[in-house]
């Protein structure tokens, strides 16, 4: 695998496809360019998903995030684009992408987008006391 920024997301086989289980991934090291001013923007990106047959490979995910370093993008569009790309690569049962953008002009902004595979129903959550 190359160590250059890349839009190519690698996957590996889910070792436990018989279970609905959760993978949480989080990086505070996301940066892109502001589409209005061209100046750097910074964010924390969180991914929560229930894999189906494929899991996203973490090194390629890091190169994928890197690929935004020289790209502009509004917060809303960018967060949805990451979701769309990860869904295309992994075809998960469920996925949520959260973008927590650094404060600008005294205003904090987060964007949260979700995908659910058609027909998939989340297991009834067990809330232990």
Q: Which residues are annotated as a binding site for substrate?
A: 56-58, 75-76
User: Which member of 104, 113, 115, 117 binds Ca ion (CB under 5 A)?
Assistant: 104
CA–CA separation, 26 vs 75, rounded Å? 17
Nearest to 64 by CA among 80, 48, 85: 85
- Element housing 61 (H / E): helix 58-66
Please identify every residue annotated as catalytic.
34, 41
Residues 39-98 that bind Ca ion (CB under 5 A): none
Closer to Ca ion by Cβ: residue 39 or 124: 39
Applying CB under 5 A, the span of 27-35, 46-54, 78-86, 120-128 interacting with Ca ion comes to 27-35
21 belongs to the binding site for a copy of itself (CB under 8 A) = yes
CA–CA separation, 80 vs 94, rounded Å? 14
Q: At closest approach, how far in Å is the CB of 38 from a copy of itself? A: 6
Residue given tokens 């100046």 in the structure block: 39
43, with CB counted inside 10 A (0-12, 13-18, 19+), is: buried
Phi, psi of 35 (to 5 degrees): -65, -20
Binding residues vs a copy of itself (CB under 8 A): 3-4, 12, 14-16, 19-29, 31, 37-40, 42, 48, 50-51, 55, 58-59, 61-62, 66, 69, 74, 76-77, 79-80, 94, 96, 98, 102-114, 116, 122-129
């Amino acid at each position: 695998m190359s160590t250059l920024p890349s839009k190519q997301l690698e996957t590996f086989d889910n070792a436990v496809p018989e279970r609905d289980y959760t993978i949480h991934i989080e990086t505070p090291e996301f940066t892109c360019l502001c589409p209005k001013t061209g100046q750097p923007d910074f964010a924390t990106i969180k991914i929560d998903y229930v894999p189906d047959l494929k899991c996203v490979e973490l090194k390629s995910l890091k190169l994928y995030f890197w690929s935004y370093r020289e790209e502009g993008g509004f917060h809303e569009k960018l967060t949805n684009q990451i979701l769309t790309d990860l869904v295309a690569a992994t075809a998960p049962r469920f996925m949520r992408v959260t973008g927590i953008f650094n404060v600008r002009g005294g205003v904090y902004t987060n964007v949260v987008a979700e995908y659910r595979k058609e027909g998939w129903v989340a297991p009834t959550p067990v809330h232990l006391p």
